[in-house]
Amino acid sequence: MDKQPAREDDWVVVSRNLVELVRRHHEQGAPTALDVLKEAMDQNGEITDDDRRLAAERSGLPEATVHGVSTFYEDLLVPRGRRHVRVCTGTACFAATGDAHVDELAGGLGLSLGERSDDGSLSLAETVCLGYCHASPAVRDGDVIDAGPDAIERVLADAAKPAPEPLVESLLDEPVLIRTGDWSGLRKALAETTPELLLEEVKAAEVRGRGGAGFPAGAKWEFARNAEGEPKFIVANGDEGDPGSYIDKVLMEDNPHLFLEGMALAGFAVGASHGFVLVRSEYPRSKPELEDAIFHAHTEGLLGEDILGSGFSFDITVIEGAGSYVVGEETALLACLQGLRGTVSARPPFPAQRGLHGLPTVVNNIETLANIPFIASHGAEAYRALSPGATAGTKLVCFNERFERPGAFEVPFGMTVRELCEDVAGGMRDGRSVKAVQIGGPLGGILPASRLDAVFDFEPLVAEGCMVGHGGIVAFDDRTDMRDVARHLLHFGADESCGKCFPCRIGLRRAHEMFVSNAPVERVSLEELLEALELGSLCAHGSGMPAPIRSLLAHFPEELGLA
Amino acid sequence: MSDRFDSTVTTTCGYCGVGCRLEAHARDGRIASISPALDGPANNGHTCLKGRFAHQFSRHRNRLTAPLIREHGGFRIATWEEALHRVVSELSRIRDDHGPDAIAGLASSRATNEDCYVMQRLMRAAIGTHNIDNCSRVCHSPTSFALRKSFGLSGATGSFEDIDAADAAIIIGANPTEGHPVAGARIKQATLRGMQLVTIDPRRIELADYAVLHLSPRPGTNAAVMLGLAHVVARDGLVDHDFLSARTEGYAEVEDLLGDYTPEEVSRITGVPAHDLERAAHIYAEAGDASIIWGLGVTEHLYGSEVVRLICNLALMTGKVGRRGSALLPFRGQNNVQGSSDMGALPDTFTAYRSVGDEEVARAFEERWGVTMKRERGLKIPEMFDAAVAGDLKAMYIFGEDVAQTDPNTKHVEAALESLDFLVCQDIFENETTKYADVILPASSFLEKTGTFTNAERRIQLVEPAIEPPGAARTDFDIITTISRELGHDMGFETPADAMREIAEMTPDFAGVTFQRVGRRGLQWPVAPDGTDSPILYEDEFILPGGRAQLAALPYKPPGSAASDEYPLILVTGRRLQHYNAGTMTRRTGNLDLVSSDWLEMHPADAAKLGIVSGDRAEVRSVVGAIEIEVLVTERIEPGHVFTAFHFPEIRTNLLIGASADVNTSCPEYKVVAVAVTPIGRAAGVPQLETAAT
Amino acid sequence: MIRIKIDGEETLVEAGTTVLDAARGLGREIPTLCFDDRQDAFGACRVCLVGIEGAPGPMASCTTPVRDGMKVDTLDPASRRVATAVVELVLSELPRPPAEHTELAQISRMLDVGTPRWPGEQHDVKKHDESHPYLAFHHELCISCGRCVRACDEVQGTFALTATGRGFGANVAAGLDEGFRASACVSCGACADTCPTDAITEMSLLQLADPEPVR
């Protein structure tokens, strides 16, 4: 089934009317409803109907629509005390403590998750994930993110200290993704090539999206280039919501120039004049770092009007999200950028035809964009040669705290998972052994220790019921109860469901209920439910959740409490 | 569905001029629910709160269910025999003693085409007078007059569908989201798809928020606005000269006149910024296809008919008429105001606006009906009241009209009704007018009759009864044909379909109309003998001599009312979404629960000067009368103006409206009344003293 | 024009037509729950699934445009299995079965849906909104199909309704969850007309069904 977008007149992404209202008010400089609601939350610690009315007035959106937005995003839902503590319940933190840290913290503070003390001084909320998976468990106390075995203790003593940043290394002699961005690719492209030729080069490089779907970036760019509508946009997906993954965090906070350059190159090739980066609110450092980098790029004349005298203009705005995993899906992301509910839309039309404000938009993952400067500088062939006999380019992978050397590593495609786990990350710490490894995020399949010789690349992992995903590698050691893993993943899945499509909205809840109750799980019933989820869901959230459960059914059936 | 309901009938709504097709579901002889018909050509599966929900009036306990005869200052129930006998004998006596012209009839613009047709036949053939009129007199008669003069036919030049195909549109003097909700919704959707809308209204109507431009001219200055737009079109080379020379006459005189109406001059007259006027003209003229929509905010003025001619001028100058997307759409207020006039319930025309003085047509009707008729026109409604007060008009037969509430100059109307020797009212509820009746005949609502309505896009649509008239009430068609027969003129119609047969036979524009052909999609007249109807008019020629449209060189003249020291504010009247005209029907439904009273809209600057805040009660006084009403302070109205509706008899807004009326058609100037507003209980500016006793 | 085959029968349709419209044009019955012809397609219910040759799995026919040479199987077993499972899931979240005349009940009958395989938590029987003279909102019957929200958006243009919450807690609210009366609602009834479960319905119809309405 080819993915050519259909000729369309009447198709919609989100609500045509709401998108149009957002566009009109954006043109007049109005904030989005989400902007105003976040501000109210930041200032007052809660959102009242008056805040909603104000958001409606300032954004130009209907009151009901604003109400809907205010009830969707995690950040807007939990009332905040003067001291607001957020504990991470992501998979890496779960793998480290079995969630004991959550109970310890809740017990110590005397609050349950989502509760605020009566005097308004203190509140506790759940958050997924803070991106400190290398040092789990992690806790965010106000704006300080602490992580490590004594983090909870420190927070309870009101002595949180900033967690250490992860190790970041490349296996390549000449790092591609972690070299400091120097805008040389853009300089070269503007001086020596045309948008059409750059596009051809990117297509020839066979860059596959790094966010999880693996869709060829060049093809996406071409659709947008050929689509009707002005202006066009490049959107960088910095909503790295996968628990266990901190790759984009590293790129955004330690090396923003590289992918920002990639965005500008995308703009050049596609004919877009503006870019947006959606960063998740769980990474509070990302936005300030990015805005700083953008400011510097401006002063160097690398962003803005008529860059380096080429006639090409491009600018970038950073928008912060408000707590929703599904917003990492491209149509939901665009909805969030427009300040609407982050629900998924049917495709076609694809964002390349009708995206932000109904106009052609390229949505690329941060890491994907970080690959582009190399191609612009060195060409498609050199890029393909980085991983001979495997998917072109390199990949950043990251490891959780269970490993001896947890960190973010740039590796070529084609190594085995065992090599990655043992040689690169040094195997399990504390003398423990690997029980199972989940690759690519919470929707990725799970490899038992016996199958770690699988090759880390797109097709080989699919053959194992797994995926490259975004590259997060989370190990469960021998202490882990795999039924708990099932419950944990399904809790996450159900919690993050956007609620639009029926299989996911109801089915994930039912699947979670099966593993929460003490009753044995009927295998056939579970498998029928998984089939409905996999084949029926609107997006990869619902359709992807069965994968790890199936891995567990295949490799750890005796632990799941089946009937 | 069938287990919940006993029957479902597809019919046409009796509220506004959109003419939604509805599925009326009945159970146990009452309406259980109404849903929109998915294939309704004007509404496409949508409707509004009136069509959908406001049907409980049909079985309200106040429904007239038996004839009433006046006795001892009150009314007593009578049998039909007695009541009809009284009516017939009184009308016969007055006709014999004072002549047929001492009697006048008023047809209901909410009744069916067939009802109105038999009413005018009764007046002309059974009584022998042309004194028959309908309430379009007080709303769109200026439109009818002007469209006939400019283009030839009295109706919209296109359909609601043209809104979907328009690149731009002007709405002037109409508030569709309240008066024609389904059409208003359609316009809103079109604007969100990119249609460039310009709204022109002293109030910032809801659609102004979706428009690219809103103009707020002073009430009564619409003509200057239209002349200004035309001026800019001519000045900036946007005239379609090919169209003008091929298909019109009269541009030379217009061109001469336009020189005076520079944007600066128009700005001085209207208060509209010159730049906005220029922009509006360009938006309209440069669009590929553009339509113009207007309502009573244009017609209910001293020079309303002239403004409509100027609207036609603008369309002709830019060639934007006679094709899809470029339509002139007068939003007719009531469900059958188009049809009641089409049917000749007018003092000066037979069906399809053919003059009573037209020898050929008059002879044809004389022959058909077996009577002779005068060639001079009869009385228009305002003339009827004048004649009554003067003692020349002795009797009236009014059906489906509450003139004492909805007509202007209420005191004069009341005096007129009082002075009649005999008044017959035929209606579904007692109202302000029936208070003066000698006989009240209980009639049927739209849910209880058969026939057709013609909506604002000239679409004749079927009306089918979902329930029976309650008690001893009868259908209007039945009552009128019976009275006619007992007056000595048996029309020979068994059913409304029979009446339509005659209408079709006697009227070339309706030649192909049969109930069967009307079917579910209706027919837009003119309808050819083979049933082909006309969604778009004037594609090839206008219906005037030579096939050419007529431009009119009409200068601006000030309105009948102007603000003065004594009456410093201008009152504009209009409609609210939840209620309908006199509120006879809607006030007897759950709609009253939603909106139980009316209010006066006033700008904060004016309110501050008077020391009024929202919620205060105020007295509103004009030269002819005064009312009391609650005030709402809002920025949607312009300073210097106030606005209210006319749905509540307790408020009797029309007491304020004087005799000023359109020069050509006598349509009252409801939209410009100079008033003074005073907070109740204190003179302006004098502080209230609060004591324990107060 | 595009040539496609539906259940072996060939048909010619315009580009931009959906598989659902093409199939219905041929008289094929495809069940839907979140689809209303007066609105843009939404793709939420996943009941209109059909098999398309070469596709990776069942496709939602309401949001799939036709392509030249496409071969559609409206009775594809996997599609029907999933559609039936979806309807079962929907029935499992409602505290009481849908009234017979509702679309949900009709679709259940059409797909011959039996006892839900996955019982679990149901919607809270929240406070009913019956403050409006005409429109009643029984939130526990809402299946978040979005049709009412879209009717108020795409047909009426008043935007008085919104989806709220997310995941299993998703529902619909009027205004700032203040009920129809206090919201921007203009009482046109388009929402009640399109609701497939009578979560939104007419007060007068409630009284018809049950002369002693539940409060």
Q: In the 3-class helix/strand/coil scheme, how is A255-306 assigned residue by residue?
A: CHHHHHHHHHHHHHHHCCCEEEEEECCCCCCHHHHHHHHHHHHHHCCCCECC
Residue B580 banded pLDDT, cuts 50, 70, 90:
confident
Write the residue in B27, B38, B53 that is nearest to C187 by C-beta. Answer: B53
Is the pLDDT reported for residue A554 higher than 50?
yes
pLDDT of residue A5: 33
Q: How many Cβ atoms from other residues are within 10 Å of residue A50's Cβ?
A: 10
Q: Calculate the alpha carbon distances from C142 to A19, B184, C127, C146 in Å.
A: 25, 29, 13, 9
What is the CATH classification number for the domain harbouring A380?
3.40.50.11540
Nearest-CA neighbor of A533 among A516, A514, A508? A508
C-chain residues near B35 (CB < 8 A): 189, 193
Rounded to a whole number, what is the distance in angstroms from the first to the last CA of chain C?
Answer: 55
B301 plus B371 within the same structural domain: no
C-alpha A217/C-alpha A223 separation (Å) is 10
pLDDT of residue A219: 96
Token code pair at residue B613:
């805040």
C-alpha A453/C-alpha A458 separation (Å) is 15
Is C205 in Cβ contact with B33 (below 8 Å)?
A: yes
B320 plus B172 within the same structural domain: yes
Average pLDDT over residues A294-308: 96
Stronger pLDDT, A149 or B137, i.e. the higher one:
A149
Handedness of CA C67, C73, C78, C81 (dihedral sign): positive
Domain final residue, candidates B277, B303, B330: B330
Calculate how close chain B gets to A31, using CA atoms only, in Å.
18
Tell me, yes or no, whether A11 lies in a domain: no
Calculate how close chain C gets to B578, using CA atoms only, in Å.
8
List all chains that touch chain B, counting a touch as 3 or more CB pairs closer than 8 Å. Answer: A, C
Is the pLDDT reported for residue B687 higher than 60?
no
Q: Report the range of poorest mean pLDDT among A494-508, B125-139, B583-597.
A: B583-597
Compute the C-alpha angle C102/C104/C105, nearest 5°.
70
Q: Based on C-alpha coordinates, what's the Rg of chain C?
A: 18
Is B189 in Cβ contact with A16 (below 8 Å)?
A: no
B-chain residues near C154 (CB < 8 A): 189
A138 plus A260 within the same structural domain: no
Which residues, other chains included, contact C84 with Cβ-Cβ below 8 Å and sequence gap of 6+?
Answer: C111, C112, C113
B-chain residues near C188 (CB < 8 A): 46-49, 52, 181, 185
C-alpha A46/C-alpha A275 separation (Å) is 31
Write the residue in B4, B27, B578 that is nearest to C101 by C-beta. Answer: B4
B358 plus B387 within the same structural domain: yes
Q: Is B206 on the interface with C (CB under 8 A)?
A: no
C-alpha B126/C-alpha B420 separation (Å) is 20
Q: Calculate the alpha carbon distances from A172 to A124, A251, A403, B147 in Å.
A: 43, 17, 21, 82
Average pLDDT over residues B429-433: 93
Which of residues 173 through 232 in chain A touch C, CB cutoff 8 A? none
B343 plus B411 within the same structural domain: yes
Is A15 in Cβ contact with C154 (below 8 Å)?
A: yes
CB pairs under 8 A between B and C: 72
Residue type, B451: G
pLDDT for A454-483, tens place per residue? 999 999 999 999 999 999 999 999 999 999
B-chain residues near A20 (CB < 8 A): 192-193
Average pLDDT in chain B: 92
Is A53 in Cβ contact with C154 (below 8 Å)?
A: no
B617 plus B676 within the same structural domain: yes
Average pLDDT over residues A98-119: 96
Nearest-CA neighbor of B278 among B215, B194, B320, B216? B215
Domain final residue, candidates A121, A147, A164: A164
Domains of chain C in start order, with CATH, are 2-81 (3.10.20.740), 135-206 (3.30.70.20)
Residue A12 banded pLDDT, cuts 50, 70, 90:
low
Q: Is B45 on the interface with C (CB under 8 A)?
A: yes
A207 plus A279 within the same structural domain: yes
Q: Is B192 on the interface with C (CB under 8 A)?
A: yes
Tell me, yes or no, whether B463 lies in a domain: no
B-chain residues near C190 (CB < 8 A): 46
Residue type, B631: V
Residue type, A510: R
Q: Which helix (H) or strand (E) holds C182?
A: helix C179-182
Sort C194 into a burial class: Cβ within 10 Å, 0-12 / 13-18 / 19+. Answer: buried
pLDDT of residue A258: 97
Interface test with B, best of A20, A27, A354, A357 (most B CBs within 10 A): A20
A102 plus A136 within the same structural domain: yes
C-chain residues near B590 (CB < 8 A): 133-134, 203
C-alpha A330/C-alpha A344 separation (Å) is 8
Tell me, yes or no, whether B33 lies in a domain: no
* Side-chain half-sphere exposure of B386, counting CA atoms within 13 A: 7
Tell me, yes or no, whether A62 lies in a domain: no
Number of structural domains found in chain A? 4
Is C118 in Cβ contact with A502 (below 8 Å)?
A: no
Write the residue in A1, A64, A499 that is nearest to C56 by C-beta. Answer: A1
Average pLDDT in chain A: 94
List phi, psi (to 5°) of A75: -60, -20
pLDDT for C116-156, tens place per residue? 899 999 998 777 999 999 999 999 999 999 999 999 999 99
pLDDT of residue A11: 54
Domain final residue, candidates A454, A477, A500: A477
B492 plus B504 within the same structural domain: yes
Number of structural domains found in chain B? 3
Residue A68: closest CA among chain C residues belongs to which residue?
A: C164
Sort B374 into a burial class: Cβ within 10 Å, 0-12 / 13-18 / 19+. Answer: middle
Residues in chain C: 215
Domain final residue, candidates B312, B330, B348: B330
C-alpha A441/C-alpha A491 separation (Å) is 14
Residue B362 banded pLDDT, cuts 50, 70, 90:
very high
A-chain residues near C185 (CB < 8 A): none
Please check whether residue A446 is in contact with residue A426, taking contact to mean a CB–CB distance below 8 angstroms.
Answer: no
A448 plus A492 within the same structural domain: no
Is B49 in Cβ contact with C189 (below 8 Å)?
A: yes
Tell me, yes or no, whether B453 lies in a domain: no
What is the CATH classification number for the domain harbouring B393?
3.40.50.740
Chain centroid to CA A188: how far?
30
Is B189 in Cβ contact with A21 (below 8 Å)?
A: no
Q: Based on C-alpha coordinates, what's the Rg of chain A?
A: 23
Chain centroid to CA C155: how far?
16
Q: Report the range of poorest mean pLDDT among A5-9, A525-529, B344-348.
A: A5-9
Is C46 in Cβ contact with A503 (below 8 Å)?
A: yes
Is C164 in Cβ contact with A503 (below 8 Å)?
A: no
C-chain residues near B4 (CB < 8 A): 101, 205, 208-209
pLDDT of residue C210: 59
C-chain residues near A331 (CB < 8 A): none
pLDDT of residue B682: 52
Which residues, other chains included, contact A299 with Cβ-Cβ below 8 Å and sequence gap of 6+?
Answer: none
Q: Is B189 on the interface with A (CB under 8 A)?
A: yes
* Side-chain half-sphere exposure of A64, counting CA atoms within 13 A: 26
Write the residue in B27, B52, B594 that is nearest to C133 by C-beta. Answer: B594
Residue A6 banded pLDDT, cuts 50, 70, 90:
very low
Is C93 in Cβ contact with A10 (below 8 Å)?
A: no
- Give this complex's ipTM: 0.95
Token code pair at residue B134:
């309908």
Q: Report the range of poorest mean pLDDT among B309-318, B654-663, B683-692.
A: B683-692
pLDDT for B148-171, tens place per residue? 999 999 999 999 999 999 999 999
Q: Is B27 on the interface with C (CB under 8 A)?
A: yes
List all chains that touch chain A, counting a touch as 3 or more CB pairs closer than 8 Å. Answer: B, C
pLDDT for B432-441, tens place per residue? 999 999 999 9
pLDDT for A29-86, tens place per residue? 999 999 999 999 999 999 999 999 999 999 999 999 999 999 999 999 999 999 999 9
pLDDT of residue A13: 55
Compute the C-alpha angle B398/B404/B406, nearest 5°.
95
B371 plus B413 within the same structural domain: yes
Token code pair at residue A313:
């203009």
pLDDT for A512-536, tens place per residue? 999 998 889 999 999 999 999 999 9
Is the pLDDT reported for residue A3 higher than 50?
no
Is the pLDDT reported for residue B225 higher than 90?
yes
Is C186 in Cβ contact with B1 (below 8 Å)?
A: no
pLDDT of residue A284: 95
Is the pLDDT reported for residue B653 higher than 90?
no
Token code pair at residue B401:
């009209």
Q: Residue B650 belongs to what domain range?
A: 569-693
B345 plus B205 within the same structural domain: no
Tell me, yes or no, whether B147 lies in a domain: yes
Stronger pLDDT, B639 or C12, i.e. the higher one:
C12
Calculate how close chain C gets to B84, using CA atoms only, in Å.
38
A460 plus A493 within the same structural domain: no
Please check whether residue B602 is in contact with residue B677, taking contact to mean a CB–CB distance below 8 angstroms.
Answer: yes
pLDDT for B581-632, tens place per residue? 777 777 777 787 788 888 999 999 999 999 999 989 999 998 888 888 999 9
Q: How many Cβ atoms from other residues are within 10 Å of residue C1's Cβ?
A: 9
Please tell me what DSSP assigns to residue A416.
B
Average pLDDT over residues A78-96: 96
Nearest-CA neighbor of C43 among C129, C125, C136, C146? C146
B319 plus B170 within the same structural domain: yes
Is B192 in Cβ contact with A16 (below 8 Å)?
A: yes
pLDDT of residue B596: 80
pLDDT of residue B162: 98
Q: Is B135 on the interface with C (CB under 8 A)?
A: no
What is the CATH classification number for the domain harbouring A153?
3.40.30.10
Strands B641-645 and B569-574: parallel
Taking 50 as the pLDDT cut, the residues of chain C under it are 212-215
Please check whether residue B632 is in contact with residue B595, taking contact to mean a CB–CB distance below 8 angstroms.
Answer: no
Please check whether residue B394 is in contact with residue B103, taking contact to mean a CB–CB distance below 8 angstroms.
Answer: yes
Q: How many Cβ atoms from other residues are within 10 Å of residue C17's Cβ?
A: 18
Residue B83 banded pLDDT, cuts 50, 70, 90:
very high
Please tell me what DSSP assigns to residue B590.
T
Residues in chain A: 563
A364 plus A510 within the same structural domain: no
Calculate how close chain B gets to A17, using CA atoms only, in Å.
6
Stronger pLDDT, B691 or A17, i.e. the higher one:
A17
A419 plus A285 within the same structural domain: no
Q: Residue A106 belongs to what domain range?
A: 83-164
B291 plus B182 within the same structural domain: yes
